[in-house]
Amino acid sequence: MSWPKIESIVESLSSGQTTATENVKVALSNIKKNSQYQTVISTLDKEALERAKLIDLDILNNKKVAKLAGVPFIAKDNFLVFGAPTTAASNILKGFHAPYQATAIDKLESEGAICVAKANMDAFAHGSSTENSDFFVTKNPYDLERVAGGSSGGSAASVALDIVPFSVGTDTGGSIRQPASFCNVVGFKPSYGMVSRSGVIAMGSSLDTIGTFSKNIADTRYVMSIISGRDPLDSTTLDDSFKIVNKHQKMTLSKIKIGIIKEYLADDLNPDVKKVILSAINKIKRMGLVVDEVSIPSIDLALSVYYVLCPAEVASNLSRYDGQRFGYSYLEASNLEDSYLKSRTIGFGDEAKTRIMIGSYVLSSGYYDAYYKKAQTVRTKLINDFNQVFKNYDFLIGPTVPDVAFKIGEKSSSKLEMYLNDIMTVAANLVGIPAISLPAGFVNNLPVGLQLMGQIGKDNQLLDFCQEIEENIC
Amino acid sequence: MDKKITEEDVIKIAKLAKLELTKQEISRYSMELTEIIEYVQKLNTVKTTGLDPTVSVNGLCNISRSDQQIDYHQTPASLLGNVPRVKDNFIQVKRVIE
Amino acid sequence: MNQENNYKLTIGIECHVQLKTKTKLFSGALNVDDQEIPNKDINHIDFGLPGALPVLNSNAIYLASRAAFALNSKPQRFSKFDRKHYFYPDLPMGYQITQYDQPIIIGGYVQFISNNKLVKINITRAHLEADAGKSIHPGNKDYSLVDLNRSGTPLLEIVSEPDIKSALQARQYAETLYLLMRYADVTNGNLYYGNMRFDVNISISRNKDLGQRVEIKNVNSFKSIERAINYEYKRQSKLLDTNQEVRQETRGWDDPKGCTYSLRSKENADDYRYMPDPDLPPILLDEAYIQDVKKSMPLMPDYWFYKLKDLGLDESIIYSLLEDGLDNDFKNLKFIVSLNKEEAKLITNYIVNIEIPLTHESNQKILNIEDRHKLYLSTYSLVSQNRINSTALKILIKDILMASSLPDIDSYIKSHNLAQNSNQDELLEVAINTIKNNPKVTKDILSGQDKAIQYLVGQVMKETKGQANPLIIQDIINQEIEKLKNVKN
């Protein structure tokens, strides 16, 4: 079976056509059926069924049906979830049990949603293919020999494979949009601060955002309206006046102006992908709105800025994994220094180490101004340039990724080549704006994603517009 | 400007970051880091006079809480539950030598 | 000879002041000093669990702003938090959240009188930071134990310029800082719990150039500061005298042994890889907030110091009164500055020598402050009218201070035989005679058997038929015995 829209799932539940227990069982059996794709690291069979039972009981007793009652979902393994191991796909967190829970998970659970599994990912979200998972590689639903993308590859593939109606992931430099593009689902990265980061394992704290994978905009909106909002546990969350609402606001399309980011259509773009993107943009044009090419020259610097700031924050955030209080600990150490060295060296995978090394280098004495501070200043320039463009345009449009899903192992030889995969997604994280990847078509049966970006805090408008696109051209 | 990250640099950084690297790793990181640091060199060609570094991307400031005790619903036992070695409620670690 | 004439001594002090917030700097766990159960007042934030985020305690900003005014400065409009990275078992996140290049306080000064001269020590900066946990190292074991109760406690680190020129000045600086922070009401100032901890940077040199800098870490009493500096001065002078090099290093202070010891050399300077903390948006204080804090500040010790000085009081008395002000909401100070010079001289004497020691006795109830002031004023008139002698007065004040309410002074004097005795000379004569007539008892007293005095008191009482107050008699006998002692010596 295929999952209907989330609101219909909840309706079927309240009308007694199905039960939460049934939903959970379906989701769990979907995971088993699709095991060759290796989308999840762990399942919460017992906990999920217990929660489902309670929800079914509530419905039997005619209690108010919560907004996500009995809707199963999968969380990326960097969300702390009660009753489940949380590893961030890293050996250093093997066996770690969360004594507290992510705010986003709390909000979903309090509306009756049920977490059935933890999705595979690149360890600590470092990567664009889940090949950096310390455990296994998630396969692309459209081609088992190809990657699902990353870092939220497991979350994206789970929705693409219809295992669950929605999943949650994190996006620091494209980790939601890129796998969404590779897996043909809607992947939404909200404004920085729209969803609380509390209880989500940090990667680059000034870039990390929490978002969703789903099949359509309505479901994206429905789930985002529940998890967004100010959280007293996260000082960087936006005021509730920016909160995403579950209400589509009709737009006067003729008044909308869209900018195609010229730099994203340059030579690096796979020509077949370009065709798909331009054809999608043409369809949008036909909706009767203004579409112009715009240039943001400093966008070419985004990846450089990103690969200074992100590793610096990664190196800092991974300092707490030292083998002394949780996670992997080298117990045979001869002394404290040995315990630190061995716990971290054995516990972290290669990519984490690489990023820790880059980050420690750019923060080290004598280099801070040249790299970290300079990058944060260029970031200001990038923000200013985006603001300038947003004075004349409501939304920006372009491809999500320069190419379709690549083959497993294809890009393992060079780190830099792998990093270039993020070239079209990192800017939105640096600028803090909402961005989304929508299914746009195929190249040789492999999905292509169309990326749209809105202004910071105007997530509702971006979703309104995406809804129009979905209704008009899909 | 020569931005080669030498093996000595790698050894120094690894020490700061508490990572133990093999000889091969040191040489590989020296190459990989050099490649990435060379790539980001273009930042140094950008004029940024009059611009401040970004400190808060969504413009927030003065976010604080009132000075009240918060019950996070955690017990010391649940926190210490993940600690590799606990002794009399203390976290036990290899001896700190000053 | 003053040893400090040989080498020029240059001292700078970093003082960690623990702020008296109810909860920690970045979490809602209690900020307490006396938690006996390890790892009790902690949560995912203090524990540095994955996904935990700091949330700033607004009261810490308020208290730091008060401290700014106490330091003759004002809080910065813009400040932010940074991460300082190093690995240590009691630093759960692998970094300390502190303020690096844009702290909440920049500039300011502290001043005090030293050797009759006004000394002004400039303040470089003061920044907010979260304290680390505590490590203990049990003897003969291959492990250390970590308690994170202190992890995340709010500290204000006050950094002085190297303006301090002697060990005495260093101690006075610390004492003044203590008073300032207590007056600003930003800390409990309990030194036993390490509410104020001092890192002393010291260098000595023959000429104008600064010598090699040695840091003495974690000195936590005023006296120790002075002792530690004197010790270091001697140690370093000896090295220089014999043309040896002073190593740039961090040293610890062993208080019982009275010496410093090497902790680690600073040759391999730590690389803390500072970066702004992306989890904490910056602090932007508006002028209205800053002015509100300013208006809420009490009168500071400097103000009272000069007021009391104008009354002709000694510095030692003044410092006692300044400290005492903290215990009674400055009511004694306000009372004293309303007096004239003569009243002030006598009454501050009662306060410093009778009242303050009484207030420091545990479980000692004391008359309420308004009645205390009434008592002092009425006793002043008794003295000026010569109706009571000084011994009797001390007895009277102490007794009444311990009473539950203020009695009628006149009848109290009568009923307790405390009036100035017209035949005081007669009483003295009886006492002298009693001592003379009891040579054995007197000898016992002189050899240290103080209790034997009671026998003599009894004899005098008998002789004067109970007309005199026994405490006065005892006082007279004591004075005579003292005289005899002096003769013997």
CB contact (8 A) between residue B66 and residue C59: yes
- Among A residues 386-405, those touching chain B with beta carbons less than 8 Å apart: none
C292 occurs within a structural domain: no
Q: Clarify whether A90 is annotated catalytic.
A: no
Q: Clarify whether A175 is annotated catalytic.
A: yes
Nearest CA of chain B to the CA of C261: how many Å?
11
Total structural domains in chain C?
3
- Residue B90 pLDDT: 97
Mean pLDDT score, C37-45: 96
pLDDT, averaged across chain C: 91
CB contact (8 A) between residue C94 and residue A322: yes
Digit-coded pLDDT (tens) for C454-489 = 888 888 888 877 667 777 788 888 888 888 887 766
Mean pLDDT score, C37-65: 97
CB contact (8 A) between residue A345 and residue B19: yes
Tokens of C363: 């479980």
Rounded to 5 degrees, what are φ and ψ at A193?
Answer: 95, 0
Q: What is the number of alpha carbons within 13 Å of residue C317 lying toward its C-beta? A: 23
Single residue among C245, C265, C287 that ends a domain in this structure = C287
* Distance (Å, whole) CA B68 – CA A297: 48
- Residue B22 pLDDT: 96
Contact status, residue C97 vs residue C129, Cβ threshold 8 Å: yes
The three-state DSSP-derived secondary structure of C92-158 is: CCCEEEECCCCCCEECCEEEEEECCEEEEEEEEEEEEEECCCEEECCCCCCEEEEECCCCCCEEEEE
Digit-coded pLDDT (tens) for A357-374 = 999 999 998 899 999 999
B54 occurs within a structural domain: no
Q: Look at the alpha carbons of A11, A12, A13, A15 in this order and tell me if their dihedral is positive or negative.
A: positive
Mean pLDDT score, A182-192: 98
Residue A367 exposed, middle or buried by CB count within 10 Å (0-12, 13-18, 19+)? middle
Rounded to 5 degrees, what are φ and ψ at A120?
Answer: -70, 160
What's the CATH code of the domain at A105? Answer: 3.90.1300.10
C294 occurs within a structural domain: no
Single residue among C287, C312, C327 that ends a domain in this structure = C287
Mean pLDDT score, A184-205: 98
C452 occurs within a structural domain: yes
CB contact (8 A) between residue A320 and residue C92: yes
What's the CATH code of the domain at C440? Answer: 1.10.10.410
Query: Of the candidates A70, A78, A84, which has an alpha carbon nearest to the alpha carbon of residue A14?
Result: A70
- Residue A76 pLDDT: 98
Mean pLDDT score, B53-65: 96
Question: If you count them, how many residues does chain B have?
Answer: 98
pLDDT, averaged across chain A: 96
Question: Measuring CA to CA, how many Å separate C203 from each of A89, C24, C216?
Answer: 52, 35, 11
What band does C386 get if pLDDT is binned at 50, 70 and 90? confident
DSSP one-letter code for A373: I
Shared domain check, C230 and C137: yes
B28 occurs within a structural domain: yes
Say yes or no to pLDDT of B1 above 80: no
In this complex, the residue of A326, A361, A381 whose CB is nearest that of residue B48 is A381
In this complex, the residue of B66, B68, B94 whose CB is nearest that of residue C143 is B94
H-helix or E-strand containing A212?
strand A209-214
Considering only CB atoms, which chain A residues are within 8 Å of B33? 354, 357-358, 361
Query: Of the candidates B41, B51, B45, B61, which has an alpha carbon nearest to the alpha carbon of residue A385?
Result: B51
Total structural domains in chain B?
1
Say which of A151, A198, A214, A298 is annotated catalytic. A151
Q: Which domain holds residue B28?
A: 1-49
Digit-coded pLDDT (tens) for A50-82 = 999 999 999 999 999 999 999 999 999 999 999
Contact status, residue A451 vs residue A425, Cβ threshold 8 Å: yes
What's the CATH code of the domain at B24? Answer: 1.10.20
Digit-coded pLDDT (tens) for A291-300 = 999 999 999 9
Shared domain check, C212 and C305: no
Tokens 């007309």 belong to C467
B19 occurs within a structural domain: yes
- In angstroms, how far is the first alpha carbon of chain C from the final one? 31
CB contact (8 A) between residue B93 and residue A336: yes
Say yes or no to pLDDT of A332 above 60: yes
CB contact (8 A) between residue C85 and residue A363: yes
Chain B interface test: which of A93, A301, A357 (most B C-beta within 10 Å): A357
Letter for the amino acid at C332?
N
- Residue C4 pLDDT: 43
Single residue among C382, C415, C448 that ends a domain in this structure = C415
Considering only CB atoms, which chain B residues are within 8 Å of A423? none
What band does A474 get if pLDDT is binned at 50, 70 and 90? low
Closest Cα in chain C to B98:
C263
In this complex, the residue of B53, B74, B94 whose CB is nearest that of residue C43 is B74
Digit-coded pLDDT (tens) for A4-13 = 999 999 999 9
Say yes or no to pLDDT of C422 above 60: no
Query: Of the candidates A176, A136, A171, which has an alpha carbon nearest to the alpha carbon of residue A153?
Result: A176
C71 occurs within a structural domain: yes
In C398-416, which positions are buried (b, 16+ CB within 10 angstroms) versus exposed (e)?
A: bebbeeeebbebeeebeee
Tokens 């227990």 belong to A21
CB contact (8 A) between residue B70 and residue C284: no
Q: Clarify whether A33 is annotated catalytic.
A: no
- Residue C446 pLDDT: 84
Q: Which domain holds residue A100?
A: 1-474
- Residue C488 pLDDT: 63
Digit-coded pLDDT (tens) for C211-242 = 889 999 999 999 999 999 999 999 999 999 99
Tokens of C186: 């930003």
Tokens of A233: 């546990």
Nearest CA of chain B to the CA of C174: how many Å?
27
B79 occurs within a structural domain: no
Chain A interface test: which of C39, C49, C284 (most A C-beta within 10 Å): C49
C311 occurs within a structural domain: yes
Q: Is the CB of residue B39 less than 8 Å away from at least one CB of chain A?
A: yes
Contact status, residue C228 vs residue C219, Cβ threshold 8 Å: yes
Total structural domains in chain A?
1
- Residue C120 pLDDT: 98
- The complex scores an ipTM of 0.97
Contact status, residue A105 vs residue A75, Cβ threshold 8 Å: yes
Residue A472 burial (CB count, 10 A):
13
Say yes or no to pLDDT of C3 above 50: no
Closest Cα in chain B to A355:
B33
Least confident of A115-124, A462-471, C437-446: C437-446
Say yes or no to pLDDT of A454 above 50: yes
What band does C449 get if pLDDT is binned at 50, 70 and 90? confident
Shared domain check, C26 and C161: yes
Mean pLDDT score, C161-173: 97
Helix (H, G, I), strand (E, B) or coil at C200: strand
Q: Is the CB of residue B61 less than 8 Å away from at least one CB of chain A?
A: no
Pairing assessment for the beta strands A139-140 and A114-119 based on DSSP bridges: unpaired
* Distance (Å, whole) CA A329 – CA A339: 7
Digit-coded pLDDT (tens) for C429-445 = 888 888 888 888 888 88
C293 occurs within a structural domain: no
Q: Which domain holds residue C462?
A: 424-488
Letter for the amino acid at C440?
K
CB contact (8 A) between residue A383 and residue B54: yes
B32 occurs within a structural domain: yes
Question: If you count them, how many residues does chain A have?
Answer: 474
B33 occurs within a structural domain: yes
